Chains A and B, each alone.
Chain A
Amino acid sequence: MRSAMDLALTREGMSRMTAVRILVGTQKGAFILTADGTRSSWNVAGPLFGGWEVYHVTGSPSDPDRLYASQSTGWFGQLIQRSDDGGATWRPVGNEFSYMTAPGTHQWYDGTPHPWEFARVWHLEPSWDDPDILYAGVEDAALFESRDGGVGWTELSGLRTHRSSPNWQPGAGGMCVHTILVDPTDNARLHVAISAAGVFRSDDAGRTWVPGNHGLRSEGLPDPEADVGHCVHRIARHRDRPNVLYMQKHWDVMRSDDNGETWNEISGNLPSDFGFPIAVHAHDPETIYVVPITSDSEHYPPGGQLRVYRSRTGGNDWEPLSSGLPQADCYVNVLRDAMAVDLLDHCGVYFGTTGGQVYASRDAGDSWIPIVRDLPRVLSVEAQTLP
């Protein structure tokens, strides 16, 4: 468990950080974008793992040189790559993701039982304080843990075997664990989000789980306020407020002030409350970012104008951020894992699009520049703030 003093020291360290590394996963490889603390000039390196889908690349909070990447294709399956030198060199580690118990069935799109089948790793979440410990969220929905730097993987099967799991159904992108949050003050407290089952919470390091969806309402469900079955797209938190969670649901932007026990809608004046990513400002837990998308059948910004929306009030009151972003004829999407913030004093915000652009803001969203315009479809963006 971390103390307030630990977190304060961590923040003091942030003020000394002088460079940024952006880790980008795309449909055809990974890219690493680097800049010094001015963030005015960027180096683009890649593609790494060219031709493979890279759903996620991320770094350890406790050792920024330790990186992990999820690399897969439908032809050759899943690999996990690891770097111990900040992405200069990589080596494949373990790729055996075997369900711990008989997989059983979940519901298929038509409601019929469908056997659980491993497809890919969507998201990797390293521990806050040990670079060798990380979690993997996979499709079909399950959570795996590695305690040896990605070499061996063990399923935390209490999630997949939750009593509700035979009724889970996939979202359009598959039935996946796409978000994993580790409480920065208590490693045993975990949240995951599953499309389309919803949020689950564990207080015992992933052994047992309870749904955390009270207050969500999804009109497509037979019971719109069901305990389980909501298409949650992303959840996020600020490290200083572990009990406050923000959510971009299929429709609706939501907030919880009690660690996910209950949720309240904060969509407020958004032009559309459909979207995928949600992110929190590095230094202000009440400042949050979303990218409104027209609708669940029109995955592009309203009016062809790409705008990030920022709330400085923890939701409900939103302002459009458009300076430097295309304001005509723009029909890209921003996927759930493709937005991140850095920890520099003037918080940087980054996002990648399905059109291959990666945009950066050096002023908390007031203005944007494209770091790179023509990458493959961007699947994920992570920001590392370096000494």
Chain B
Amino acid sequence: MIKVVLPQHLRTLIGADHVLQLDVDGIATLSQVIDDLETLYPVLKGTLRDPASRQRRPFIRFFACQEDLSLEPMDRALPTVVCLGQEPLLVIGAMAGG
């Protein structure tokens, strides 16, 4: 089970609680987590990554275990403690715009 924390605007969009819980068996990747999120909440398609290129949107960042995972390959395994649900995966809207 993976815990995911989405930015407020996306939580409002899907009408979800602060922490989402995804059932993922074994080691998961960022790409897999986003696939699952988009399956559960189709409205999220295009909000985290470009629907055509499947690349992270420029102002979306991913953090876990006090590390910035945003620039890691999307198919790299997430930290074990994230995959075990012991630490959340934080999806952050970057601070920008002044």
Contact = CB atoms under 8 A, between A and B. Distances in A.
B45 A75 contact: no
A44 B51 CA distance: 35
A75 B43 contact: no
Which of A52, A74, A98 has the most chain B CB atoms inside 10 A of its CB?
A: A74
Interface residues of A, number: 14
Interface in B20-40: none
A96 B50 CA distance: 9
Given A92-B13, A92-B43, A95-B46, A76 B57 contact: yes
B59 to A, nearest CB: 4
A73 B50 CA distance: 13
Contacts of B96: 74-75
A75 B7 contact: yes
B93 interface: yes
B94 interface: yes
A78 interface: yes
B51 A51 contact: no
A152 interface: no
Contacts of A95: 45-46, 51
A76 B51 contact: no
Contacts, number: 44
B77 interface: no
A73 B9 contact: yes
A76 B9 contact: yes
Output the residue of A51, A73, A76, A95 with the most chain B CB within 10 A: A76
B1 interface: no
A77 B13 contact: no
A238 to B, nearest CB: 38
B27 to A, nearest CB: 28
Interface string B44-85: 011110111000011110000000000000000000000000
Contacts of B45: 95-96
A96 B46 contact: yes
Contacts of A73: 9
Nearest to A71: B13
Interface in A135-154: none
Contacts of A98: 51-52
B47 to A, nearest CB: 4
A78 B46 contact: yes
Nearest to B48: A76
Interface string B4-19: 0001011011000000
Interface in A208-258: none
A75 B94 contact: yes
Interface in A150-205: none
A340 interface: no
A53 to B, nearest CB: 11
Contacts of B57: 75-77
Contacts of A96: 45-46, 51-52
A79 interface: yes
Given A96-B51, A98-B51, A98-B52, A77 B94 contact: no
6 contacts: A73-B9, A74-B58, A75-B93, A77-B47, A92-B43, A96-B51
Interface of A: 50-52, 73-79, 92, 95-96, 98
